[in-house]
Amino acid sequence: MEIRYLGGIFKHGLAERRSAVGVGTIAEDWGWMGEDAELFLHAAGPCCRLFTWDALALLLRGYARPSREQGPLDLERVAEEIRCHYLEHGELAVDWLEGSFTLALLDGQAQRVMLYRNLVGSGFTYYRADSAGLLFGSNLAELIDAVQLSPQPNRDVVPAFFLFRWTPGRETLFDGFFRLLPGEQVCWDARGLTRVQRQTFADLRSQTIADDAAVDALDETMEHVLLDCAQLRPGTANLLSGGVDSSYLQAIWGRLTQDEEELPRSFSIEVDHPHTWGDTDYAMTASRALGSRHTLVPADAPYADYLLDVLASTAEPPNHVQTAYFGHLARAMIGQGVYSGLNGYGADALFGQGLSNQLHNAALLRRLVPPAWLRQSGAWLSSLLGWTDLAAAFRLAGRLNDWTDLHHPVNRIVAFTDWEAVTACFGVAAVADAAAGRRSLLDRYAVPDDPQERLHAVDFLGESMDTASLWTTLFNRAGADLFSPFLDSRIVRLALNLSPHVRFRFRRPKDLLKRALVRLAPAELAYRKKLSFGQPIFEWLAPGGPLRPLVDRIAAYEFVDAEVLERVRQRPTWFLYSLLVYDLWHKLFIDRSLPRPVSDAVSRATTVREWSDRPLPYGHSSE
- Whole-angstrom distance, CA of residue 262 vs CA of residue 344: 22
Q: What integer pLDDT is reported at residue 13 of this predicted model? A: 54
Q: Flag residues of the chain having pLDDT under 70.
A: 12-26, 530-533, 598-623
- What pTM, to 2 d.p., does this model score? 0.94
Q: How far apart are CA 234 and CA 231, in angstroms?
A: 6
> In this predicted model, what pLDDT tens digit does every residue of 443-482 receive, in sequence order?
999 999 999 999 999 999 999 999 999 999 999 999 999 9
Domain 4-199 has CATH 3.40.50.2000: no
Using DSSP's 3-state secondary structure scheme, residue 98 falls into strand
* Helix, coil or strand: residue 144: helix
What pLDDT is recorded for position 533?
A: 56
Positive or negative: CA dihedral 525, 528, 530, 534: negative
DSSP 168-233: -SSB-SBTT-EEPPTTEEEEEETTEEEEEE---GGGG--SPBPGGGHHHHHHHHHHHHHHHHHHHS
Relative orientation angle of helices 562-570 and 574-589, to the nearest 10 degrees: 110
CA–CA gap between residue 607 and residue 401 (Å, rounded): 52
- Which residues pair with residue 9 across a beta bridge? 39, 134
Cα separation, 144 vs 328, whole angstroms: 23
DSSP letter assigned to residue 157: G
- The dihedral region occupied by 484, where left means phi > 0, alpha psi between -120 and 50, and beta the remainder, is beta
Q: What is the pLDDT of residue 490?
A: 97
| Portions of the chain given CATH number 3.40.50.620 | 208-351+467-535+606-613
User: Taking a C-beta distance cutoff of 8 angstroms, is the pair 134, 239 a contact?
Assistant: no
* Neighbouring residues of 93: CB distance < 8 A, sequence distance ≥ 6: 81, 82, 85, 86
Residue 545 has what DSSP assignment? S
Q: What string of DSSP letters covers 306-367?
A: HHHHHHHHHSS--SSGGGGGHHHHHHHHHHTT--EEE--TTHHHHH--TTHHHHHHHHHHHH
Which residues on adjacent β-strands are paired with residue 270?
298
Question: Are 203 and 502 in contact, with CB atoms under 8 Å apart?
Answer: no
DSSP 8-state secondary structure symbol assigned to residue 464: I
Query: Which of 138, 131, 24, 115 has the alpha carbon at shortest distance from 481?
Result: 138
pLDDT (0 to 100) of residue 620: 32
- d(C-alpha 325, C-alpha 466), whole Å: 16
Residue 544 confidence (pLDDT) = 97
| Rounded Cα distance, 293 and 196, in Å | 45
- What local confidence, expressed as pLDDT, does residue 610 receive? 55
Q: Compute CA distances 465 → 118, 348, 461, 528, whole Å.
A: 12, 11, 6, 26
Residues 395, 580: Cα–Cα separation, whole Å: 35
Determine contact, residues 600/327, Cβ cutoff 8 Å: no
Given this model, what pLDDT does residue 605 score? 38
- Residue 356's CB is within 10 A of a number of other CB atoms, namely 25
pLDDT score for 12: 60
Calculate the CA 591 to chain-centre distance: 28
pLDDT in tens, 224-258: 999 999 999 999 999 999 999 999 999 999 999 98
Kindly report the CATH number that applies to the domain delimited by 208-351+467-535+606-613: 3.40.50.620
Q: In whole angstroms, how far apart are CA 469 and each of 118, 221, 318, 472? A: 13, 22, 11, 5
Give yes or no for a contact between 459 and 413, defined as CB atoms under 8 angstroms apart: yes
User: How much is the pLDDT for 531?
Assistant: 64
Domain with CATH 3.60.20.10 in the chain: 4-199
What pLDDT, on a 0 to 100 scale, did the predictor assign at position 612? Answer: 40
**Computed from CA positions of residues 546, 548, 551, 553, in that sequence, does the dihedral angle turn out positive or negative?**
negative
List beta partners, residue 41. 7, 30
- 3 state DSSP class of 151: coil
Task: Say what the pLDDT of residue 379 is.
Answer: 95
